[in-house]
């Protein structure tokens, strides 16, 4: 590979960041994501820069650096909006929700998740919509709003069941904690 190909090098670091994340090594992931950001910036690739920021933000969040994640993530949302990358924007909103939730800022977290859900819905990405709905449910539950948690989890379960996704069992278990009779009445209590 040509050492002058900054965008290509950035893409490799972005892929390595993803691989380290999948290996549950956010520290290594963040290192590669930061390298990707620098290289994408140098190459003038706004969308890649925003994707790199998402990687850094998620790594910060996984490492428990939620306050730092917020400022990085707000930049990522803006860059994705400027680049017209709605999928990247949805990911960034979901990460913002995650960081706010872990800072016990439940109203802000719920708002961020709702932005992500709307974008995923518009994009037709039912799995990520369901994932964001499940996280919204967790936020509402932790924030003391069981009825709102129930509503979000029911929606998430509907999408996951339609997709025949194994995460449906996880959401079904969360619903059972709230009200075991409700999951049976809505059909959500079907075995996975």
Specify the CATH number for the domain of residue 35.
Answer: 1.25.40.10
Instruction: Count CB atoms within 10 A of the CB of residue 126.
Output: 16
Confirm whether 122 is domain-assigned.
Answer: no
Confirm whether 2 is domain-assigned.
Answer: yes
**Angle at the Cα of 60 from the Cα atoms of 16 and 146, rounded to 5 degrees:** 120
Confirm whether 188 is domain-assigned.
Answer: no
In degrees rounded to 5, what are phi and psi of residue 3? -65, -15
Task: Give residue 67's domain range.
Answer: 1-92
Q: Structurally, how many domains does the chain consist of?
A: 1
CB 25, CB 3: distance < 8 Å: no
Confirm whether 189 is domain-assigned.
Answer: no
Confirm whether 144 is domain-assigned.
Answer: no
Confirm whether 50 is domain-assigned.
Answer: yes
Q: Give the whole-angstrom CA distance, residue 192 versus residue 178.
A: 19
- pTM value is 0.82
Confirm whether 52 is domain-assigned.
Answer: yes
pLDDT tens-digit profile, the chain (192 residues)? 444 689 899 889 989 988 998 899 988 988 898 898 899 889 988 888 888 888 888 888 888 889 988 988 888 899 899 989 999 999 999 999 999 999 999 999 999 999 999 999 999 999 999 999 999 999 999 999 999 999 999 999 999 999 999 999 999 999 998 865 444 434 443 333
């Amino acid at each position: 590979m040509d050492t002058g190909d900054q965008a290509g090098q950035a893409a490799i670091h972005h892929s390595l960041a993803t691989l380290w994340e999948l290996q549950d090594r956010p520290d290594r992931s963040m290192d590669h994501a930061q390298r990707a950001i620098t290289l994408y910036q140098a190459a003038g690739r706004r969308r890649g820069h925003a994707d790199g920021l998402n990687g850094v933000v998620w790594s910060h969040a996984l490492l428990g650096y939620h306050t730092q994640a917020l400022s990085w993530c707000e930049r990522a949302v803006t860059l994705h909006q400027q680049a017209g990358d709605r999928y990247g924007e949805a990911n960034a909103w979901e990460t913002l929700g995650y960081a706010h939730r872990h800072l016990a800022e439940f109203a802000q977290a719920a708002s961020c998740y709702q932005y992500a859900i709307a974008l995923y819905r518009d994009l037709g990405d039912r799995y990520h919509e369901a994932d964001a709905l499940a996280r919204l449910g967790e936020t509402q539950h932790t924030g003391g709003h069981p009825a709102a948690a129930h509503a979000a989890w029911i929606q998430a379960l509907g999408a996951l069941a339609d997709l025949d996704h194994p995460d449906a069992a996880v959401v079904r278990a969360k619903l059972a904690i709230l009200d075991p009779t409700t999951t049976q009445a809505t059909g959500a209590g079907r075995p996975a």
